[in-house]
């Protein structure tokens, strides 16, 4: 079972999407992770042609990979939750006062 899951994560760099979203969410927040997920998938759609000179309306939007997008977003949400939890545990942290505002 775990080898199947690992192979699934290795497809399309899904583990990189999750880890990147986690790091962005842990450092900058889940809203930035959402933006990063959308930008990464938009870039993947753009580069799926092999020709960057095509106009926007001729792009194949079917190249959008929702699994990669959702894994990046999930990593960002989990990273953001970890960040909030760690800041909540440290009441002397200067950033914890910002979260209470």
Q: How confident is the model at residue 1 (pLDDT cuts 50, 70, 90)?
A: low
- Residue 8, Cβ neighbours under 10 Å: how many? 12
pTM: 0.72
Residues of the domain holding 29: 2-100
Give tens-digit pLDDT for 78-96: 999 998 888 776 655 665 5
Give tens-digit pLDDT for 28-81: 988 999 999 999 888 877 766 655 555 555 555 566 788 889 999 999 999 999
Number of domains in the chain: 1
At 9, list the tokens.
Answer: 């994560």
Please choose, from the candidates 46, 43, 49, the residue with its C-alpha nearest in 3D space to the C-alpha of residue 20.
43
């Amino acid at each position: 079972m775990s080898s199947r899951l690992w192979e699934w994560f290795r497809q399309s760099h899904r583990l990189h999407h999750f880890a990147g979203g986690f790091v962005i969410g842990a450092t900058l927040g889940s809203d930035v992770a959402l933006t990063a997920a959308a930008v990464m998938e938009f870039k993947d759609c753009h580069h799926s042609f092999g020709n960057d000179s095509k106009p926007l309306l001729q792009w194949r939007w079917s190249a959008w990979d929702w699994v990669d997008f959702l894994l990046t977003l999930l990593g960002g949400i989990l990273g953001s939750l970890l960040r909030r939890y760690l800041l909540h545990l440290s009441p002397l942290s200067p950033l914890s006062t910002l979260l209470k505002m």
